[in-house]
Amino acid sequence: MARAGFQHTIVAGRLTLPATVAVSFLLWLLFAVWRPVAGGTDAYVFRRLFAEFFSGTLLGSLPSLVAAAAVVYLLIELNNAYAVVRIRTSFQSSLYAWLLVASSFLFKPDAGCVVSLCLVLALCFLFRCYQSSHAAEWAFGCMFFLGASSLLFPAVFFLYPLFLLGMFLFRALHARSFWAGLLGWAVPYWFLWGHAFFHGQMELFYAPFRELASFAPLFSVRLPLPVLAVALWTVLLLVCGSIHYWFATYEDKIRSRAYLNFLIVLGFALALLGILQVQHATMALQMLMPVAALLGAHLFSLLRTRFSNWLFIFFFVSVCFVALNNLWMLWFNS
């Protein structure tokens, strides 16, 4: 194999993660100071309340920063605990931070940051279920975070059968884990029902189900160019990482194969959700980014060929170009 110099230098570099995190933080700070944070305009009540609560102040974008930092840390712990990338590396967090560098549209009070964090937490609990004698406990935690995220993004309901499939693949699906998972999913809705009933606002309890049942026409929303660019890069990471895994699957352990198979199915399900329901594309993209980062890290950390090197350079240069363009537009419009 050809020695992929630039790719190897960045992937194995100790300063890669601190540098990408620092750049992401500086961009967040610039956009928080220069760009006014808009109030909530979402038609769905819980996302609108979330945006309105954090809008109007300098720290209005703080939830996105805190959630992103938590995802960066959890991706490292996820790989260290379950060897998803086969080797101990933090490059999956660097990839996620790089995607954030180009995603200035996420530097605002958006519920998608919390949904993305809940998904990563759910994955941590789900992976712990693998052939565990205490699978019911981990299934409860996994489904609890998915249920909590579905309050902000009801389309997460469609992922429930997928996570049951994951439990089946991990040999952890039985009567106790099934009912424990169902109970965990229902807990956030029990609290919501109690609040709505006590305050006489039952429409709040019905809101997630009404949002879930409402479907917009296909391709009814035109996405901005920066969103499309980040979405294409994320899907490219997903596709290339999946192809590399399928060709090199024999090199991974059986447990790692189960994790990667589930991540691939989850990634394509999220991509399909964003395509079929374009009005939710930004939310689906934020959930897809950590999944694609894990598969991309599996690709770039283990494959060192001329093709992977050029793909890595293209990804790196494209992110830098869009980040500079976002800064230029910010300065031009200020």
pLDDT, tens digit (0-9, with 9 covering 90-100), for 96-105: 998 888 887 7
The C-alpha atoms of residue 158 and residue 150 are separated, in whole angstroms, by 10
Residue pLDDT, tens place only, 121-140: 999 999 999 988 889 999 99
- 298: nearest Cα among 85, 13, 80: 85
Confidence (pLDDT) at 334: 53
Residue bearing the bigger pLDDT, 220 or 162: 162
| pTM metric for this prediction | 0.91
Confidence (pLDDT) at 175: 93
Residue bearing the bigger pLDDT, 214 or 210: 210
56 contacts 109 by C-beta, under 8 angstroms: no
Q: What percent of the chain is modeled with pLDDT above 90?
A: 43
235 contacts 271 by C-beta, under 8 angstroms: yes
Structure tokens belonging to residue 83: 């060897």
- 212: nearest Cα among 254, 252, 159, 169: 159
Tell me the pLDDT band of 2, cut-offs 50, 70 and 90.
very low
